[in-house]
Amino acid sequence: KNEIEESIYFLVSGVVESGKIRRGSNIVIEFYFPGDFFCDVYSLITRKKSDGYLSCITDCIIEVVPYKAILQAYDNNSLIANQFVRHLAEVNLVKRILKEGNMHKPAKERYMTLVAKRPEIIRSIPISKIANYLGIEPNSLSRIRKSVK
């Protein structure tokens, strides 16, 4: 938080949470699983300080690609580097748009969409973090889960 992103990360194993801190509380934005690349794309590209955080919520093994290495690849006109950063930005944008588009839907519908589209979250993330991700209280999520069993 409050630093310029200096790397892109590749998650080999474990689970990582990204989010923002608002009014003293963590707001979960996304979860990352093995095989995912992640970083604060906005900060990485704009070179502005990040207002987000990344946190390992299980033991993790993470490979790090420093920003300087990405710049060197760009300097060499590397099509792969260009396409990689573009893909990373597009994937993060699509995830954010889909999540924000769902936030106006009823909580039960958001949960059911999550179960259908991201079952790995349901299987491996604590209920309190899932509730935060869905924008609801943990007790509301418990009631929803009971009603759909």
Q: What is the pTM of this model?
A: 0.76
Going by pLDDT thresholds of 50, 70 and 90, the confidence category of residue 100 is: low
Going by pLDDT thresholds of 50, 70 and 90, the confidence category of residue 118 is: confident
Distance (Å) of CA 18 to CA 31, 80, 93, 96: 6, 26, 14, 12
Residues 22-43 have pLDDT tens digits of: 888 888 888 999 998 888 888 8
